[in-house]
Amino acid sequence: MAMMSIADAYKSAIAEEMRADPSVYCLGEDEDIPGGMGGAFTVTKGLGDEFGANVKVAKDKGFEAKGLDIANDRVINTPISEILLSGVCVGSAMAGMRPVADLQYGDFLFCMMDQLVNQAAKMCYMSNRQVHIPMVMRAPCGATNRGAQHAQSLESYFIHVPGLKVICPSTAYDAKGMMKQAIRDNNPVLVFEHKLLYGGKRKEAGQLSAMGDVPDGDYTVPFGKAAVRREGRDVTIVANMLMWYKAMQAADELEKEGISCEIIDPRTLVPFDYDTVLESLKKTGKLMIVHEDHYNGGWGAQLASYVAENAITLLDAPIVRVAAPDCPTPFSPTLENFVIPSVDRIAQEARKLAKL
């Protein structure tokens, strides 16, 4: 076992899969150029030293050319063109490669919607399973004082698309195991990674420590299985990424008041583990869903509708959703902190729900 940040856990998974399978390669903007960061959040920093970076840096930049054979380089630095990035992923995956792409910010997924939704997600179905698209798209998400175009949580846009798998690891253990699972999957997988959980060399205001024990050997974390992060008896709280950390803090406060919360981290949004949620509701009878995405049409709405349609008799009170209001994420830190669900707000809503 080794203590790792989430950023290092992702890097470890990608490196191990590249060593084991020559069809795996990385690409992205500032993926691992000399003097660069290794993506926006340092996840791929250093991979170019082992696997070759597809760049030749001019001497006027202050670096010597590495003299690598471009045909064999497996860490590819791309132009700032997300439509190019996704097109290369889909095409190379169809040809038998396994690309792992790095978006600097998940917001840029909108620049590649046709390739993701109309090509990657549908090719297997349209070809009667003769064509597979084993590609991984890594998308940093979450609000970090960067304004409305660099702060969105976009998971809900993609859970609507048949053919895509959507995951959101939030611990170092899950980050490595689920990334390895994603790379080996024969379907396109979107990996949402919260910026405040990376714990890498790039420090973020409000960053949480998500360091954890990660096995040295090979392992995977299967998709479609939620994690019960805390057991409780009064309220079931389902929250992903940064929000389950906040939910845990809220649960600590509520425990002092005699209110016991069960915290479930879904980890995978497609496929979703509804069974674990329903088992919890058999104990608590009360459901609260917390996500950083907007209230209207967030993934919590899908979970709420599923429970209402299939297990409404388990509920002793209305379902509560805690989410960001339906407005763009403000740039002002004060306003951002107001719209993003806080520990106090989660505790307040859980407290009211427990008393119903």
Q: Are residues 181 and 240 in the same domain?
A: no
Q: Which of 20-34, 79-93, 157-171, 222-236 has the lowest mean pLDDT?
A: 20-34
CATH of the domain at 260: 3.40.50.920
Q: Are residues 201 and 252 in the same domain?
A: no
Q: Are residues 24 and 169 in the same domain?
A: yes
Q: How many helices (H) and strands (E) does the chain have?
A: 12, 14
With a CB cutoff of 8 Å and minimum separation 6, the contacts of 189 are 135, 136, 137, 164, 165, 166, 167, 182
- Kindly list the distances between the CA atom of residue 34 and the CA atoms of 45, 63, 76, in Å, as whole numbers in the listed order: 9, 7, 12
Q: Are residues 207 and 86 in the same domain?
A: yes
| Spatial separation of the C-alpha atoms in residues 69 and 298, rounded to whole Å | 46
Q: Which of 150, 194, 291, 294 is catalytic?
A: 150
Residue 222 domain flag: no
CATH of the domain at 194: 3.40.50.970
List the domain range (segments joined by +) for residue 113.
2-214
Confidence check: pLDDT of 245 > 90: yes
Q: Which of 71-85, 237-251, 288-302 has the lowest mean pLDDT?
A: 71-85
Confidence check: pLDDT of 60 > 50: no
| Spatial separation of the C-alpha atoms in residues 277 and 230, rounded to whole Å | 13
Pick from 169, 189, 214: which residue ends a domain?
214
Pick from 168, 188, 214: which residue ends a domain?
214
Let me know if 150 is a catalytic residue.
yes
Scanning the chain, the segments in alpha helix (DSSP H) are: 6-20, 47-51, 82-94, 113, 123-126, 155-159, 172-184, 242-255, 274-284, 299-310, 333-339, 343-354
Instruction: Pick the closest to residue 100 from 68, 129, 74, 132 (CA basis).
Output: 74
Residue indicated by tokens 């949004």? 269
- How many other CB atoms are there within 10 angstroms of residue 97's CB atom? 18
- Kindly list the distances between the CA atom of residue 313 and the CA atoms of 284, 307, 316, in Å, as whole numbers in the listed order: 12, 9, 8
Instruction: Pick the closest to residue 320 from 239, 226, 245, 250 (CA basis).
Output: 239
Q: Are residues 130 and 72 in the same domain?
A: yes
Pick from 214, 239, 270: which residue ends a domain?
214
Residues belonging to the chain: 356
Q: Are residues 28 and 136 in the same domain?
A: yes
Question: Phi/psi of residue 214, each to 5°?
Answer: -130, 125
Q: Which of 5-14, 63-72, 206-215 has the lowest mean pLDDT?
A: 63-72
Which strands sit side by side in the sheet containing 136-141, from one edge to the other? Answer: 75-77, 24-28, 98-102, 136-141, 189-194, 165-167, 268-270
Residue 260 domain flag: yes
Confidence check: pLDDT of 62 > 50: no
The neighbouring-strand residues paired with 7 are: none
- Kindly list the distances between the CA atom of residue 173 and the CA atoms of 58, 218, 223, in Å, as whole numbers in the listed order: 39, 12, 14
Q: Are residues 210 and 287 in the same domain?
A: no
Count of domains in the chain? 2
240-268 mean pLDDT: 98
| Spatial separation of the C-alpha atoms in residues 63 and 61, rounded to whole Å | 6
- pLDDT averaged over the chain? 92
The more confidently predicted of residues 91 and 52 is 91
Question: Measured over all CA atoms, what is the biggest interatomic distance in the chain, rounded to whole angstroms?
Answer: 69
Residue 219 domain flag: no
Are the CB atoms for 154 and 138 separated by under 8 Å?
A: no
pLDDT range class, residue 307, cuts 50, 70, 90: very high
* Residue 71 structure tokens: 């045909």
Q: Are residues 65 and 140 in the same domain?
A: yes
Q: Are residues 152 and 245 in the same domain?
A: no
How confident is the model at residue 53, as a pLDDT?
56
Q: Are residues 172 and 193 in the same domain?
A: yes
Residue indicated by tokens 């990996």? 191
